[in-house]
């Protein structure tokens, strides 16, 4: 049964139906742009930025306690190539890049150096029946015996470049998997090597024994799995799709798990979990997008079955824990668990970059070696008693009131889940964020743009609680609209709306972002006496906006209301209703149409001053006289309100020509002019002045002259 879990304090809990509206939040009507939002996290993608401590996430997004794990030791090196357990308290580790061998106590974590191989890499280890540890090196294929001395003893120098794995047969003889050439060699007690399996492959990468005592060998270039029974002929039992067989593991029922690695080509990862694990990587890490990892299940008498596959991930190691197959991958020290039904889960995040080796350990545990940097872990077959998931940062987009978090869980719940939250206004949590606080009925973290939660799992008598979805409820707080611009058009220019056809309004509701409002198109036309004013406003919440327009004379302290509740982003002011003078307009934008009373926000702007001038300019002292051979015209032009815009003259009805005031700049209400008229024939002539002020009032004046 699946229900929604509501933590009510530390001691109680309640179980309600899956779809539960949080009673502590106000749910607005459809007209409201600021609406209660429910963010649901129920897929691996939703947890791509989360961190996991003893909690695993499955392919279908279920969170549950992972296997218990513990760190045994940190190693002062970069890489662990291989390891072998002595069956008691000691693990031997082949280290790189320094070519060293260490032994580690499983009880105390004490690290003891056993030998230095100088420039060689120790890539394979085996413990012989007499307790001797042998080490195989690369890129020069040599076998060393490690004893009490700090200097390893060279016992065999092979005609091979690489040694990838070492095993022991039932008669105590050493088996060596080599590369260049790809073969399996058998070494007798006198350190004489003979070829046991000869292949046409470049490398034999791994060795294992099946339940019937047959030797298994995985190869590269073609990704074959060879089987050599104790009596019988060599056969290829599996041709993997990848170029490399990185591991072969015998499962508890005797069937085989095969780890295949190859180039991925194109295409998306195959499962939701794989897609998330394939995103991003550690700084400096090789691009894993070129790889495809697959796990196959091989059972006698049945065709091979694909158990799990992921493009964009590189699988490095293989083992099993109970009935689950474990894969160590090359990303953030992660171990994946694949159950018998092929459902994958992120079983553990260890440390370092890649999980380079996995082997069976004491009492059904698995030992995991991580590299970059090197460390050793133990993964137990029992679930952890506690674990924690810390979410990525949740961005509400704007300042928000956080309501509650609901967990969809499986019933009956085994144990409990404690929810804690913190909030802040920086995209990365820092010292300015609030402290972690337990959720008791509702989120106790203060209003802020960002939230982070963490779920602490506590097991009961079984495997612990199981969370199938996390729902976060919040109410974005109303943001103020912004009046971005306010423009005065030229006097006598009117603004109209172009004819438009209304379309179907977009749907709105919870979890749907507010649509960007569609602005009506405007057009302009001449209309004397009109002062067009337009503006542009926006609202981060997509609220419906209303405008109020006020007017006052320059120098006055009181405003006169012109329009309220205006929806259009313009107004046409009829200046004929106003006396001459200088005025300014205030535009106020409000989102009150989309918010409750008392929660509306506003913004405003005041326009530049503009003139209302109904009177034409006046031409004074218009005179004309001879100055030598030229005719010089002088005049004084004045306007009561606005600045003189232009003066032109015409002779005897000809074209008007522009002239400039004596100071050459039109910048005053009074200007003086003096200009010469070109050669005129003898006889009478009429000179006309045409004067225009800043609001396009026009006046004319003329003077007649007689040229002798």
pLDDT digits (tens, 9 = 90+) for 28-72: 433 455 678 999 999 888 998 898 899 999 888 999 999 999 999
pLDDT over 60 at 304, yes or no: yes
Quick: pLDDT tens for 505-515.
554 443 444 55
User: According to the CATH classification, is domain 2-66+388-476 in 2.60.120?
Assistant: yes
Q: Token pair for residue 443? A: 């989120």
pLDDT over 80 at 450, yes or no: yes
* CA–CA distance, 33 with 514 (Å, rounded to integer): 6
Task: Tell me the percentage of the chain whose pLDDT exceeds 90.
Answer: 68
Q: Dihedral of CA 541/547/548/553: which sign?
A: positive
Quick: pLDDT tens for 469-482.
999 999 988 889 99
Confidence of residue 235 (pLDDT cuts 50, 70, 90): very high
* Predicted pLDDT of residue 541: 82
* Predicted pLDDT of residue 420: 98
* Predicted pLDDT of residue 349: 85
Q: What is the dihedral of CA 604, 448, 30, 535, to 10 degrees?
A: 20
Which listed CATH number (3.20.20.70, 1.10.230.10, 1.10.260.40, 2.60.40.10) goes with 618-707? Answer: 2.60.40.10
* Predicted pLDDT of residue 149: 61
* CATH topology match: 2-66+388-476 vs 482-499+513-612: no
* Predicted pLDDT of residue 13: 37
Confidence of residue 518 (pLDDT cuts 50, 70, 90): low
* Predicted pLDDT of residue 243: 95
Query: Residue 594, SS3?
Result: helix
Quick: pLDDT tens for 411-429.
888 899 999 999 999 999 9
Query: Residue 620, SS3?
Result: strand
* Predicted pLDDT of residue 120: 84
Q: Which residues pair with 368 in a beta bridge?
A: 358, 377
* Predicted pLDDT of residue 410: 86
Give the predicted TM-score (pTM) of the model. Answer: 0.67
* Predicted pLDDT of residue 116: 83
pLDDT over 80 at 321, yes or no: yes
Quick: pLDDT tens for 163-201.
999 999 999 999 999 999 999 999 999 999 999 999 999
Q: Where are the domains of the chain?
A: 2-66+388-476, 252-378, 482-499+513-612, 618-707
- 78 versus 500: the higher-pLDDT residue is 78
pLDDT over 60 at 291, yes or no: yes
* Predicted pLDDT of residue 201: 96
- 19 versus 182: the higher-pLDDT residue is 182
Confidence of residue 10 (pLDDT cuts 50, 70, 90): very low
* Predicted pLDDT of residue 23: 35
Q: Which of 2-11, 156-165, 380-389, 529-538 has the lowest mean pLDDT?
A: 2-11
CA angle 453, 459, 464 (to 5 degrees): 85
Q: Which residues pair with 572 in a beta bridge?
A: 532
Which listed CATH number (3.10.105.10, 2.60.40.10, 3.40.50.10490, 3.40.109.10) goes with 482-499+513-612? Answer: 2.60.40.10
Query: Residue 311, SS3?
Result: strand
Quick: pLDDT tens for 528-568.
889 999 999 999 888 899 999 999 999 999 999 999 999 99
Query: Residue 267, SS3?
Result: coil
Q: Please, what is the average pLDDT of the chain? A: 88
**CB 376, CB 328: distance < 8 Å:** no
């Amino acid at each position: 049964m699946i229900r929604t879990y509501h933590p009510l304090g530390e001691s109680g809990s309640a179980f309600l139906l899956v779809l539960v509206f949080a009673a502590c939040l106000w749910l607005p009507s459809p007209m409201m742009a600021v609406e209660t939002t429910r963010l649901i996290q129920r897929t691996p993608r939703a947890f791509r930025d989360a961190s996991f401590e003893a909690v695993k996430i499955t392919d279908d997004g279920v969170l549950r306690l992972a296997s218990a794990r513990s760190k045994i030791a940190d190693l002062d090196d970069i890489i662990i190539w291989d390891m072998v357990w002595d069956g008691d308290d000691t693990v031997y580790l082949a280290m790189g890049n320094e070519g060293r061998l260490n032994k580690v106590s499983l009880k105390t974590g004490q690290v003891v150096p056993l030998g230095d191989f100088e420039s060689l890499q120790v890539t394979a280890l085996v413990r012989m029946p007499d307790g001797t540890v042998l080490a195989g090196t690369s890129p020069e294929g040599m076998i060393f015996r490690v004893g009490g001395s700090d200097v390893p003893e060279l016992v065999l120098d092979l005609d091979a470049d690489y040694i990838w794995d070492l095993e022991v047969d039932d008669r105590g003889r050493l088996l060596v998997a080599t590369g260049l050439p790809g073969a399996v060699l058998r070494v007798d007690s006198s350190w004489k090597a003979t070829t046991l399996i000869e292949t046409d492959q470049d490398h034999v990468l791994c060795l294992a024994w099946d339940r019937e005592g047959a030797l298994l060998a995985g190869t590269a270039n073609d990704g074959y799995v060879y089987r050599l029974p104790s009596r019988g002929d060599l056969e290829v039992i599996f041709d993997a799709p990848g170029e490399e067989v990185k591991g072969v593991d015998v499962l508890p029922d005797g069937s085989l798990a095969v780890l295949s690695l190859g180039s991925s080509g194109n295409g998306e990862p195959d499962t939701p979990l794989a897609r998330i694990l394939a995103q991003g990587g550690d700084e400096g890490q090789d691009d894993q997008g070129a790889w495809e990892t697959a796990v196959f299940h091989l059972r006698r008498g049945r065709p091979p079955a694909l158990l799990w596959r992921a493009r964009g991930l590189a699988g490095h190691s293989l083992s099993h824990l109970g009935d689950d197959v474990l894969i160590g991958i090359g990303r953030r020290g992660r171990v994946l668990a694949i159950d018998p039904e092929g459902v994958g889960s992120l079983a553990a995040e260890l440390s370092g970059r890649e999980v380079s080796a996995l082997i069976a350990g004491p009492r059904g545990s698995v030992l995991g070696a991580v590299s970059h940097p090197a460390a050793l872990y133990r993964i137990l077959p029992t679930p952890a008693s506690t674990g924690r998931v810390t979410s990525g940062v949740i961005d509400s987009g704007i300042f928000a009131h956080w309501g509650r978090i609901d967990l969809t869980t499986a019933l009956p719940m085994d144990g409990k889940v404690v929810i804690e939250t913190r909030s802040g206004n920086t995209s990365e949590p820092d010292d300015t964020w609030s402290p972690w606080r337990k959720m008791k009925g509702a989120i106790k973290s203060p209003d802020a743009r960002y939230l982070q939660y963490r779920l602490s799992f506590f097991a009961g008598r079984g495997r612990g609680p199981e969370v199938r979805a996390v729902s976060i409820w919040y109410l974005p707080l109303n943001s103020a609209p912004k009046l971005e611009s306010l423009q005065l058009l030229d006097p006598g220019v009117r603004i109209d709306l172009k004819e438009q056809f209304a379309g179907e309004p977009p749907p709105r509701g919870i979890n749907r972002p507010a649509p960007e409002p569609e602005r009506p198109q405007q057009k302009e036309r001449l209309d004397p006496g009109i002062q067009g004013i337009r503006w542009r406003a926006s609202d981060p919440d997509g609220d419906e906006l209303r405008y109020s327009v006020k007017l006052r004379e320059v120098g006055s302290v009181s405003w006169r209301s012109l329009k309220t509740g205006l929806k259009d982003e313009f107004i046409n002011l009829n200046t004929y209703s106003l006396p001459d003078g200088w005025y300014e307009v205030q535009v106020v934008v409000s989102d009150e149409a989309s918010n409750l009373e008392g929660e509306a926000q506003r913004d405003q702007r005041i326009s530049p001053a503009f003139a209302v001038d109904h009177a034409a300019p006046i031409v004074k002292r218009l005179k004309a006289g001879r100055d030598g051979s030229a005719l010089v015209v002088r005049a004084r032009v004045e306007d009561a309100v606005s600045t003189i815009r232009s003066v032109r003259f015409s002779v005897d009805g000809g074209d008007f020509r522009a002239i400039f005031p004596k100071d050459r700049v039109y910048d005053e209400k009074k200007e003086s002019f003096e200009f010469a008229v070109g050669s005129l024939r003898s006889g009478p002539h009429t000179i006309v002045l045409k004067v225009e002020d800043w609001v396009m009032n026009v006046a004319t004046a003329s003077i007649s002259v007689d040229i002798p």
